[in-house]
C-alpha cells in the first residue's frame, strides 16, 4: 500500500526519539558529551562509507576514484542555490515554531536537533528509492530497512540533542510523501548513474553533519541540500 513504508518510518522515528528522551534525562552532562561524540562519529563514518562505496573503484589491480567532477560541481551549484533560497533559515524558523508550539522553551538544543536529525533521515538514496518501489511495485522493504536505521540514528541524536529530533518525522513524511505521489514521473530520471550520484552527494552531506557534531562546526548543511538534486540532474543529463 503506497504510504505504508513512510508511515512506519515516521512511527519508528518517533519511537526512537521517545526512547532517547527517556534515557537522555538520566544522563549527566559528562555522559551526554561523550554520547554526542559517539553519535557524531557514527554519522561521520556512515557518510564516509557511503562516499567510498561510490567513489572508490578497483580496476587493473589498483584503486582509483570517480565522480570527482560531478561531486565538486553539484556541491558548488547546490551551495549557491541553497544560499539563495536560504533553506537553513526557513528550517530554523519552522523549528522555532515547533519549539513554541510544543512548549519546549527551556530546550536550548531543540532547533539544532530538529534541523540535524531532519537532514540525517531525509538525505539519501533510500529516501528516494523506497517510496518509488513502494508506489510502483508495492515493495516496502527498502523503507522498512530505512525505518530501523532511522530509529537507531534518531535515538542516538535525541540522547544529546533533545526532543527536537523527534519531529524529524515531519520532513520525512513530506519528502517521501511527495516522492510517493510523483513516483511515476521520478522513476525514469532515477537511472543507475543518477542513484549513484545521489548516494555520493547525500553521503557527503551526512558526513558533514558528523563533522559539525564532532568538531562543533557550523557548516550550513541545509543550504547544501540542493546539491543532491543537482547531482541527479547532472547524472541523468550525462547519460542521455
> Residue 178: which domain range?
4-239
pLDDT (average), residues 131-143 = 89
Domain tally, the chain: 1
Rounded-to-integer distance, Cα 177 and Cα 7, Å = 9
- Report pLDDT for 76: 96
Of 125, 97, 131, which is closest to residue 111 (Cα–Cα)?
A: 97
pTM: 0.84
Query: Phi first, then psi: what are they for 102, rounded to 5°?
Result: -100, 5
**Alpha-carbon dihedral sign for residues 89, 90, 95, 96:** positive
pLDDT top residue among 66 and 59: 66
CB atoms closer than 10 angstroms to residue 14 = 16
26: pLDDT strictly greater than 80: no
Joined grid coordinates for residue 141:
522493504
- Report pLDDT for 71: 93
Task: Output the CA–CA distances (angstroms, integers) from residue 170 to 3, 10, 33, 57, 158, in the order listed.
Answer: 14, 8, 27, 37, 16
Average pLDDT of the residues of the chain: 88
Joined grid coordinates for residue 175:
519528502
Q: DSSP alpha helices (H): ranges in 56-182?
A: 68-85, 87-101, 110-122, 125-137, 141-161, 169-181
Rounded-to-integer distance, Cα 228 and Cα 16, Å = 26
Query: Lowest-confidence range among 8-12, 63-67, 119-123, 235-239?
Result: 63-67
216: pLDDT strictly greater than 90: no
- Report pLDDT for 190: 85
Amino acid at each position: 500500500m503506497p504510504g505504508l513504508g513512510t508511515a512506519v518510518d515516521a512511527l519508528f522515528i518517533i519511537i526512537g526519539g521517545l526512547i532517547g528522551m527517556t534515557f537522555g534525562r538520566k544522563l549527566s552532562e559528562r555522559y551526554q558529551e561523550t554520547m554526542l561524540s559517539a553519535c557524531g562519529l557514527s554519522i561521520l563514518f556512515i557518510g564516509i562509507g557511503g562516499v567510498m562505496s561510490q567513489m572508490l573503484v578497483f580496476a587493473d589491480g589498483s584503486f582509483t576514484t570517480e565522480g570527482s567532477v560531478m561531486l565538486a560541481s553539484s556541491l558548488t551549484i547546490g551551495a549557491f542555490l541553497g544560499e539563495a533560497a536560504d533553506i537553513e533559515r526557513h528550517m530554523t524558523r519552522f523549528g522555532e515554531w515547533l519549539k513554541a508550539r510544543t512548549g519546549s522553551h527551556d530546550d536550548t538544543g531543540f532547533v539544532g536537533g530538529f534541523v540535524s536529525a531532519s537532514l540525517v533521515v531525509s538525505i539519501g538514496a533510500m529516501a528516494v528509492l523506497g517510496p518509488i518501489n513502494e508506489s510502483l511495485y508495492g515493495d516496502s522493504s527498502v523503507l522498512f530497512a530505512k525505518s530501523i536505521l532511522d530509529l537507531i540514528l534518531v535515538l542516538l541524536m535525541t540522547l544529546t540533542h533533545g526532543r527536537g529530533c523527534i519531529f524529524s518525522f515531519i520532513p520525512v513524511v513530506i519528502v517521501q510523501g511527495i516522492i510517493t505521489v510523483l513516483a511515476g514521473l521520478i522513476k525514469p530520471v532515477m537511472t543507475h548513474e543518477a542513484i549513484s550520484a545521489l548516494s555520493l552527494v547525500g553521503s557527503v552531506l551526512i558526513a558533514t553533519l558528523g563533522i559539525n557534531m564532532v568538531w562543533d562546526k557550523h557548516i550550513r548543511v541545509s543550504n547544501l541540500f540542493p546539491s543532491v538534486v543537482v547531482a541527479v540532474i547532472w547524472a541523468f543529463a550525462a547519460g542521455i
